[in-house]
Amino acid sequence: MIRWLVLTLLIPAAATAQPADDLASARAEITPLFTEMQAAANAHDTDRHLAFYAREPSLLFIINDQRIIGWEALRDKQRQWWNDGKTDVIYTQVGQPEYRMPGPGLVMLTHFLTSHRSLPSGETRVTGFGISALWQKRPEGWRIIHAHESTVQK
Protein backbone atom coordinates (compact mmCIF):
# COMPACT_ATOMS: atom_id res chain seq x y z
CA MET A 1 0.00 0.00 0.00
CA ILE A 2 2.79 2.46 0.92
CA ARG A 3 4.72 1.57 -2.25
CA TRP A 4 1.60 2.27 -4.35
CA LEU A 5 1.09 5.63 -2.57
CA VAL A 6 4.73 6.66 -3.15
CA LEU A 7 4.55 5.68 -6.83
CA THR A 8 1.25 7.54 -7.23
CA LEU A 9 2.86 10.70 -5.87
CA LEU A 10 6.17 10.40 -7.74
CA ILE A 11 5.00 9.48 -11.24
CA PRO A 12 3.12 12.77 -11.91
CA ALA A 13 6.04 14.79 -10.52
CA ALA A 14 8.51 12.97 -12.76
CA ALA A 15 6.25 13.44 -15.78
CA THR A 16 6.12 17.25 -15.34
CA ALA A 17 9.80 17.79 -14.51
CA GLN A 18 11.82 19.13 -17.42
CA PRO A 19 15.23 17.64 -18.22
CA ALA A 20 18.19 19.83 -17.25
CA ASP A 21 19.32 19.79 -20.90
CA ASP A 22 16.04 21.45 -21.96
CA LEU A 23 16.54 24.23 -19.44
CA ALA A 24 20.21 24.68 -20.38
CA SER A 25 19.28 24.91 -24.06
CA ALA A 26 16.47 27.39 -23.39
CA ARG A 27 18.73 29.46 -21.16
CA ALA A 28 21.38 29.59 -23.90
CA GLU A 29 18.74 30.86 -26.34
CA ILE A 30 17.12 33.39 -23.97
CA THR A 31 20.27 34.87 -22.39
CA PRO A 32 21.35 36.91 -25.45
CA LEU A 33 17.76 38.15 -25.85
CA PHE A 34 17.68 39.17 -22.20
CA THR A 35 21.06 40.94 -22.58
CA GLU A 36 19.80 42.86 -25.62
CA MET A 37 16.60 43.71 -23.76
CA GLN A 38 18.61 45.22 -20.89
CA ALA A 39 20.79 47.20 -23.32
CA ALA A 40 17.63 48.57 -24.96
CA ALA A 41 16.30 49.55 -21.53
CA ASN A 42 19.45 51.52 -20.75
CA ALA A 43 19.19 53.17 -24.19
CA HIS A 44 15.53 54.00 -23.38
CA ASP A 45 14.51 52.47 -26.71
CA THR A 46 10.94 51.32 -26.13
CA ASP A 47 10.41 49.43 -29.39
CA ARG A 48 13.75 47.62 -29.18
CA HIS A 49 13.06 46.69 -25.54
CA LEU A 50 9.51 45.49 -26.22
CA ALA A 51 10.56 43.44 -29.27
CA PHE A 52 11.02 40.54 -26.84
CA TYR A 53 7.40 40.64 -25.64
CA ALA A 54 4.58 38.82 -27.44
CA ARG A 55 3.01 41.48 -29.65
CA GLU A 56 -0.59 40.61 -28.91
CA PRO A 57 -3.59 41.83 -26.92
CA SER A 58 -3.32 38.97 -24.40
CA LEU A 59 0.11 40.07 -23.10
CA LEU A 60 -0.12 40.74 -19.35
CA PHE A 61 2.30 43.00 -17.47
CA ILE A 62 1.84 43.69 -13.77
CA ILE A 63 3.74 46.44 -11.97
CA ASN A 64 3.03 46.62 -8.26
CA ASP A 65 -0.78 46.99 -8.13
CA GLN A 66 -1.28 48.00 -11.78
CA ARG A 67 -2.32 45.62 -14.56
CA ILE A 68 -1.39 46.46 -18.16
CA ILE A 69 -3.05 44.28 -20.77
CA GLY A 70 -1.81 44.09 -24.36
CA TRP A 71 1.39 44.97 -26.17
CA GLU A 72 0.12 48.36 -27.38
CA ALA A 73 -0.92 49.38 -23.85
CA LEU A 74 2.48 48.32 -22.49
CA ARG A 75 4.23 50.25 -25.27
CA ASP A 76 2.26 53.40 -24.42
CA LYS A 77 3.06 53.04 -20.73
CA GLN A 78 6.77 52.32 -21.35
CA ARG A 79 7.06 55.41 -23.55
CA GLN A 80 5.51 57.41 -20.72
CA TRP A 81 7.90 55.92 -18.12
CA TRP A 82 10.91 56.69 -20.32
CA ASN A 83 9.58 60.10 -21.39
CA ASP A 84 9.76 59.08 -25.06
CA GLY A 85 13.43 58.13 -24.64
CA LYS A 86 14.45 61.32 -22.84
CA THR A 87 14.79 59.85 -19.36
CA ASP A 88 18.22 59.54 -17.76
CA VAL A 89 17.42 56.33 -15.87
CA ILE A 90 20.20 53.73 -15.70
CA TYR A 91 19.47 50.12 -14.76
CA THR A 92 22.00 47.89 -13.04
CA GLN A 93 21.64 44.13 -12.65
CA VAL A 94 21.82 42.88 -9.05
CA GLY A 95 23.10 39.31 -8.85
CA GLN A 96 22.46 36.72 -11.52
CA PRO A 97 19.12 36.02 -13.18
CA GLU A 98 17.41 32.77 -12.27
CA TYR A 99 15.91 30.52 -14.94
CA ARG A 100 13.28 27.86 -14.28
CA MET A 101 11.33 25.70 -16.71
CA PRO A 102 7.81 25.04 -15.41
CA GLY A 103 6.80 23.17 -18.56
CA PRO A 104 7.86 22.44 -22.13
CA GLY A 105 8.46 25.64 -24.07
CA LEU A 106 8.11 27.88 -21.00
CA VAL A 107 10.87 29.56 -18.99
CA MET A 108 10.42 31.77 -15.94
CA LEU A 109 13.27 34.27 -15.72
CA THR A 110 13.53 36.19 -12.43
CA HIS A 111 16.03 38.97 -11.86
CA PHE A 112 16.66 42.02 -9.67
CA LEU A 113 17.73 45.51 -10.71
CA THR A 114 18.38 48.94 -9.29
CA SER A 115 17.56 52.10 -11.18
CA HIS A 116 19.08 55.55 -10.79
CA ARG A 117 17.18 58.53 -12.19
CA SER A 118 17.19 62.30 -11.77
CA LEU A 119 14.10 63.91 -10.30
CA PRO A 120 12.91 67.38 -11.38
CA SER A 121 14.31 68.68 -8.06
CA GLY A 122 17.80 67.57 -9.09
CA GLU A 123 17.87 64.76 -6.55
CA THR A 124 18.66 61.20 -7.64
CA ARG A 125 16.13 58.47 -6.93
CA VAL A 126 17.47 54.95 -6.46
CA THR A 127 14.88 52.21 -6.73
CA GLY A 128 15.29 48.47 -6.29
CA PHE A 129 12.94 46.07 -8.00
CA GLY A 130 12.45 42.49 -9.06
CA ILE A 131 10.98 41.17 -12.28
CA SER A 132 9.66 37.74 -13.18
CA ALA A 133 8.98 37.17 -16.86
CA LEU A 134 7.40 34.09 -18.40
CA TRP A 135 9.03 33.38 -21.78
CA GLN A 136 7.29 31.12 -24.28
CA LYS A 137 8.93 29.36 -27.24
CA ARG A 138 7.07 30.39 -30.39
CA PRO A 139 7.67 29.97 -34.13
CA GLU A 140 9.27 33.46 -34.18
CA GLY A 141 11.45 32.62 -31.15
CA TRP A 142 11.22 33.18 -27.40
CA ARG A 143 8.78 35.90 -26.31
CA ILE A 144 7.54 37.17 -22.95
CA ILE A 145 3.84 36.46 -22.48
CA HIS A 146 3.48 37.54 -18.84
CA ALA A 147 5.65 39.67 -16.57
CA HIS A 148 5.43 40.98 -13.02
CA GLU A 149 7.55 43.81 -11.65
CA SER A 150 7.61 44.93 -8.02
CA THR A 151 9.47 47.99 -6.79
CA VAL A 152 10.84 48.88 -3.39
CA GLN A 153 11.46 52.55 -2.59
CA LYS A 154 14.63 53.22 -0.62
Give the tens place of pLDDT for each residue, 107-153.
Answer: 999 999 999 999 999 999 999 999 999 999 999 999 999 999 999 76
Is 12 inside a domain boundary?
no
Domain that holds residue 108: 18-153
Task: Count the domains in the chain.
Answer: 1
Ordered alpha helix ranges (H), the chain: 2-16, 20-42, 46-50, 71-81
Q: What is the CATH number of the domain that holds 101?
A: 3.10.450.50
62-107 confidence digits (pLDDT tens):
999 999 999 999 999 999 999 999 999 999 999 999 999 999 999 9
pTM of the full predicted structure?
0.85
31-56 confidence digits (pLDDT tens):
999 999 999 999 999 999 999 999 99
Is 36 inside a domain boundary?
yes
Note the pLDDT of residue 153: 63
102-107's contacts with Cβ under 8 Å and 24+ in sequence apart are 102/18, 103/16, 103/18, 104/18, 104/22, 105/136, 105/137, 106/134, 106/135, 106/136, 106/137, 107/23, 107/26, 107/27, 107/30, 107/134, 107/135, 107/142
Is 2 inside a domain boundary?
no
> Residue 16 above 70 pLDDT?
no
Is 47 inside a domain boundary?
yes
Is 77 inside a domain boundary?
yes
Is 23 inside a domain boundary?
yes
> pLDDT-based confidence at 7, cuts 50/70/90?
very low
> Residue 1 above 70 pLDDT?
no
Is 76 inside a domain boundary?
yes
Is 4 inside a domain boundary?
no
Which is nearest to 116 in space by CA: 131, 130, 129? 129
Note the pLDDT of residue 11: 46
